[in-house]
Structure 1
Amino acid sequence: MAPEELRTFEEQRPRLFAIAYRMLGSASEAEDAVQDTYLRWDAADRAAVREPAAWLTRVLTNLCITRLTSARARRENYVGPWLPEPVITTDATLGPLDTAEQRDAVSMAFLLLLERLTPPERAVFVLREAFGYTHREIAEILDLTEAGSQQLHHRARRHMTDERPRFDPSPSERTRIARRFLAAARGGDLAGLQELLADDVVSWADGGGRATAARLPVRGAERVARYLSWMSGDVPGAKILETEVNGQPGVLLVQDGALVLVVVLEIAGGRIETIRLVANPDKLAFAAAQLR
């Protein structure tokens, strides 16, 4: 591949990854989809490619639709709750996250809502809502009519709008609550921890059968506070780090230099409404690489 053509692809890589991650909810699968797109770009007759960015988006999106179809079958047999792969978002890995809406749209809650859509609905919704493509552009990408794109978008919005997550808009407020949570959890202050939790808080854990994790959700402030009491233990070689994950306050547990757990806090109304823990090591590789 000529240097100029390689440079063209590398310029598009961050955007392609951001699309693929929102499509798949998996950073590792998104990387694979981007790599498959690269292989097709390498083999393409580029003299016939008028708009490289549009061509690459078309190839990537259709690869993601194919991957989503097979992923659904795999997730039906997943051990325990399935959660999206966490991505540390203190940089531009997922694109600009300057507004509350942009951060909320990469949250685990939002990605889980996207799981309800059919693969074509998800493609249209992501391209339209997150990346501002017109229906004419989407129709060309997905080989649809413009009216077909509009119809898929309408159906997707109907599924998403009623339950779209709405978190506290102030990042500083989220950070303040997250730091109080971490201090209470690490200090073994169950009463203080419980005060930060919504009465109907739910904690979900994804171990995927590869790591110890609750296979059923833990519900209620008192039970969740007790469930998180492990954070107050003094484990040799363990470090707890505060960061941002999927646009939300996050906590990382690093054991002997290896990332072993990601905790994501979803805050609304001044209290923590949902806690998501990812312990499946297969899902921590991307975030671990970000840390390195």
Structure 2
Amino acid sequence: MNAYSPASDQFTPARCDISFNRIGYGAMQLAGPHVWGPPKDRAAAVAVLRAALELGVNHIDTSDFYGPHVTNQIIREALHPYRDDLTIVTKIGFKRGADQSWLPAASAQELRDAVHDNLRNLQLDVLDVVNLRAPGIAGADGSSIVEALSTLVRMKEEGLIRHIGLSNVDAQQVAEAQKMTDIVCVQNQYNLIHRGDDALLDTLAAQGIAYVPFFPLGGFTPLQSDALSRVAKELHATPIQVALAWLLQRAPNILVIPGTSSVAHLRENIAAGALQLDAQTLATLNAL
């Protein structure tokens, strides 16, 4: 693959003043095991963040409930004062229980507290993009998000949030939100194998809204497929690189945020942007 800079491929959502390099970085893996507590090697986590920016990444996806608090504190340690062109996207709507569980936290006070936790731990005065993480553990549950979103809209009016996004939502919830405010991005589970959002993705592309797949590489259970491995071997690439390249070619509004705690893996992930999949290869992958 040729040398690649994420800055060569950007997407700017409609009614948004931020141009995102389409390969970003997901910070979840900077925390300890099960996204809880500090990492084994904090210096390595700092190094990964700094390397990401050196390699051309201009947006980082995070949340203050990663750790909790740990990931944002590492981002601040590594990158503050932040570059003018760096966008930090965070999410609220959940919290971590003392038993490491993931618990909904969408009351008005919980959402306000979460915004202020993000501001404090990132050392920011305003958050560029805040995603409302809707209820549902295994996917969108279809419940109304009007009440929770109204709190974010008020915080946007107060100047604490610049742009609002959604996470873990279905098409009906997106439409409900769009009646209340501009939505710049949607972050749902989507990858080469998990394609339940195909119709929603296409709708968002037509509207100029960014789609950010979480678990782009399968999440805690990495993607595995004999066909994927064969394609990767033919292209002298890794299966992970092929999976990322497929996402980037799937639709122009997709922003990928693969996470890693390794600089070597970070370099491989970013290099996937140079990988071009021809029609036959895409057909093979689409058949998975």
Query: Is TM (by shorter chain) over 0.5?
Result: no
TM-score (norm 2): 0.26
Query: Which is greater in Rg?
Result: 1
TM-score (norm 1): 0.26
